[in-house]
Amino acid sequence: MTMIFQANQASGLPTPTWIVPGLQAEFLGNTSSLRNAGPNVFYVHVTSSGFSIWTSLTSLLQSKKPALNPDFLRHHLRFGETATHSTAWRDIYQLIPGAILSLGAGVCSWRFEPWAREERDSETAGHPGTLLENVLSASPGAVVLELSGGVDSTAIAYSLSGRSDVEAITWADPDAPDASDVGHARRIAGKLGFEHRVAPVSPEALFVIPEQFEPDRPSVSLFMMAERDRFVRDVIGNRADVVVVNGHGGDHIFLDPPSPIPMLDLLACGRFREALHYYRALVEFHGAGVLAPLRYRHVGRGIGRASLSLGPGKRLHRRLIRQACYENAIWSRLGTPYKVIHPFTCPSMLNYALSIKPHEYVGKGTSRLPFRMAMNDYHGTEDHSRVSKGHLTGVFQKAIGLKQGILAAVLEQGVGAKFSMYRVDEMQRALKAAAFGSTDIHPRLMNALSLELFIQHWSRLSGMPRWQLDT
């Protein structure tokens, strides 16, 4: 049963009441509050007469066939992935684990603070090495570790050391099997005694969304999901007790990627030289002029309550943490048969990350420095070091080259073009540049492609030639 509750059935029910395990509703006059205390993602279809709650997005969209949400789609094209209760469809909202959705007369609001779900009850619980071990010790059965070779996956690898049931996988560009991070991952796996596979990513398999997947928003993460799922299935075979572990979210909770906001913290502390040095590094990172980093001032707009603060870096930090937890809650439930664990977005690790002040470390080159130092000291090693990544860029360039004609047609005939969400000529130039091996793939191009492929996926599954868009 996919439609599990309707608001007009609520008369006579006590308030608050548990609708299904993990989902609590409270009715106060014309206002309803839904709290997700369980592990599942729910979808709420809101109408003038009330609301319905669904557990399957596929069944909801096949039966309701709602209009697209233009505000959400334009926001995605402009900023990429940001955490929100809105979805790509009008009047359909998502309720992820740990979130509260409040519905009133024409108003919908969302609260999501995953770090508040757990209290730190001892000083030892605050050490990141202990926290990671505690999360992973509760994982029964064999473990498949997605070992990228970066700091986060290396930390998880060390926290799994001593286990004999760990198999590590490292994704690689078939033309660069010895990239620095792949080599680092291979060395770490050998040192810890893990069986290790280097999995070359096939360019032909990118930009494909498997039919069993239920993504609820456009995302560039979709481009590699089919390959990732194939590799994991090859490893686990028919075993049902296997868990997949990765370090996704670590870059967010330690305030990466580079943002101009910590620079304001440096200025507020009177550290003007470091602020200037940090901003120069941002300009070099973004590579599009001295004003390019300022576009990140809008990261997370609409997430949390808008208010003045003397700690803008910490405010952005919380927004990035929400984003990491949001992504993990969604992408772990695409329809894969195995369980995925993200240790960096467990509440205890989030509380550790929130205890770090970004402005105290950006002047030293990275806000992840205290974590790296703590892990190296804990394990008596220097393996938690900065390793350059990005070796899969070449795979995406090759995939774009192989499918340039198809992708060009998708952009020209898609929803974004029809409703002027992007300039087709601009996207075609960016596509051509990427196909001919440009070292920089335009982020807006990737966002546009994710939008169009996402809509194509759901049109195919719902039996519609084209989704309608109310303008």
Q: What is the pLDDT of residue 87?
A: 93
Tokens representing 50 are 């009330």
pLDDT in tens, 269-284: 777 887 787 777 666 6
Distance CA 400, CA 407 (A): 8
Between β-strands 42-47 and 50-54, what pairing exists: parallel, antiparallel or unpaired? antiparallel
- Give start-end residues of each CATH 3.40.50.620 domain in the chain: 113-389
Q: 238 CB contacts (<8 Å, ≥6 apart)?
A: none
Percent of the chain exceeding pLDDT 90 equals 32
Please count the residues of the chain.
Answer: 471
Tell me how many degrees the CA angle 376-332-394 measures, rounded to the nearest 5. Answer: 70
Instruction: Give every residue of the chain whose pLDDT is below 70, as ranges.
Output: 1-2, 9-16, 79, 117-125, 139, 255-265, 281-316, 357-367, 386-391, 439, 469-471
Quote the CA–CA distance of 468 and 471 in Å, as a whole number: 10
Cβ neighbors of 315 (< 8 A, separation 6 or more) are: 261, 304, 309
Range 113-389: architecture per CATH: 3-Layer(aba) Sandwich (3.40)
User: Residue 440 has what pLDDT?
Assistant: 73
pLDDT number for residue 125: 54
Is the Cβ–Cβ distance between 252 and 303 less than 8 Å?
A: no
pLDDT value of position 274: 75
Q: Across 55-105, where does the E strand assignment appear?
A: 92-95, 99-104
**H helix or E strand, kind and range, residue 236:** helix 225-236
- Cβ atoms of 98 and 41 within 8 Å: the answer is no
Q: What is the pTM of this model?
A: 0.82
As a whole number of angstroms, the distance between CA 90 and CA 93 comes to 8
Q: What is the pLDDT of residues 228-270, one digit of tens each?
A: 999 999 988 888 788 999 998 887 787 665 555 566 667 777 7
Between CA 210 and CA 187 the distance in angstroms is: 33
d(CA 453, CA 466): 12
pLDDT given for residue 22 in this prediction: 87
Cβ contacts of 436-441, under 8 Å, gap ≥ 24: 436/401, 437/397, 437/401, 438/397, 439/393, 440/287, 441/393, 441/396, 441/397, 441/400
Instruction: Give the model confidence (pLDDT) of 296-331 as tens digits.
Output: 443 333 222 333 333 445 666 777 788 889 888 888
